[in-house]
């Protein structure tokens, strides 16, 4: 699950909850597409719940940090 913003006609990833690479993690991106990866140490089910709640509740916070250049 991820949050994306459309900037100058192009979709940019902001934050992504992912379970590829055989572990649950979160990727935080900057406007250049660079990212940092953080292991969440959660089950797949718990990470899906966290991702859904975080993105639905905190999308404006993540958007602001991304646009200010505070990720990563």
| Residue 39 included in any domain | yes
Domain span at residue 40 reads 2-67
DSSP state of 33: S
What's residue 20's pLDDT?
Answer: 84
In a domain, 14, yes or no: yes
pLDDT in tens, 17-64: 999 888 999 999 999 999 999 999 999 999 999 999 999 999 999 999
Q: 13 CB contacts (<8 Å, ≥6 apart)? A: 2, 3, 4, 27, 29, 33, 35
Instruction: Report the number of distinct structural domains present in the chain.
Output: 1
On whether residue 72 sits in a domain, the answer given is: no
Higher pLDDT, 72 or 65: 65
Summarised one tens digit per residue, pLDDT across range 8-26 is 999 999 999 999 888 999 9
Angle of CA points 52, 54, 55, to nearest 5°: 70
Give a yes or no: residue 50 inside a domain: yes
Does residue 8 lie in a domain region?
yes
> 62: Cβ–Cβ under 8 A, 6 or more apart, which residues?
3, 14, 15, 55, 71
Q: For residue 30, how far is the Cα from the chain centroid? A: 10
Is 63 domain-assigned?
A: yes
Domain membership flag for residue 47:
yes
């Amino acid at each position: 699950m991820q949050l994306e913003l459309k900037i100058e006609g192009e979709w940019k990833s902001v934050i992504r909850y992912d379970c590829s690479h055989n572990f649950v993690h979160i990727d935080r991106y900057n406007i250049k597409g660079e990212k940092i990866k953080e292991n969440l140490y959660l089950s797949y089910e718990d990470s899906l719940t966290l991702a859904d709640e975080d993105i639905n509740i905190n999308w404006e916070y993540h958007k602001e940090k991304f646009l200010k250049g505070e990720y990563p």
